[in-house]
Amino acid sequence: MGAGLSFRATAVAVLGFALAMAYLESAVVVYLQGALDTRVGDIFPLRPELEAGDLYRIEVGREAATLVMIGAIGAFVGRSRLERLAWAAVVFGAWDIGYYAWLQVFSGWPGSLVTTDLLFLIPVPWVGPVWSPVLVSVALVGVGLTAASRLRTGRHIADTRWHWAAGLAGGFLVILSYTLDTGRLLNGGLPGPYPWPLFAIGMLLALGAAADALRGHSS
């Protein structure tokens, strides 16, 4: 797909796909909440019947299917391993931002960026304020588009063990900030205060590695 298109046309197609996918997912959430006679955003405490029932397994499968779709788009449009990863990051980020934007249009939720949300279920529940995944997604779109553009024009991006180690460590800290409350949530409790300093350290580490890689530094 991407081989016959310019960078700009590829970016438009990828972003269009991500926003359309976000529309579909947010619409499904609205339908599902209506079928369950609950309000969009009525999440906590986690409902035991969903934690152990078929709906929980279906939701985990849906999340896995979403990741497959994101990876497939990156594989279709990228011309190299790094470019595929860059486009996958763009799809993920645009999809996540679009998801919250469409939900707000459809239901008025989330009421603000500080609203707490159940972000993910694989392998355990992830919880955090809406601003945090949105910030991650903005970074993914920005870094992904920049990297894809550089790779399309033949410019060098550093791909060293240090960059991968720093990026993965930063990502781990971000994920950790979302999962520290897992035990409490699975026991029917409510989320505690979000550990934003842990998130901030992880983001700075990952973004620092990405910026250094984009500058082409190999040491």
pLDDT attached to residue 48: 52
Rounded-to-integer distance, Cα 11 and Cα 203, Å? 24
Query: Does 30 or 179 have the greater pLDDT score?
Result: 179
Query: Does 219 or 144 have the greater pLDDT score?
Result: 144
Q: Which helix (H) or strand (E) holds 50?
A: helix 48-52
> Residues 69-114: pLDDT tens digits?
999 999 999 999 999 999 999 999 999 999 999 999 999 999 999 9
> Residues 131-148: pLDDT tens digits?
999 999 999 999 999 999
Question: What angle (nearest 5°) sits at the alpha carbon of residue 23, between those of residues 18 and 24?
Answer: 100
pLDDT attached to residue 184: 87
Question: What angle (nearest 5°) sits at the alpha carbon of residue 124, between those of residues 122 and 125?
Answer: 95
> Residues 143-195: pLDDT tens digits?
999 999 999 988 989 889 999 999 999 999 999 999 999 888 888 888 899 99
Domain ranges of the chain: 2-214
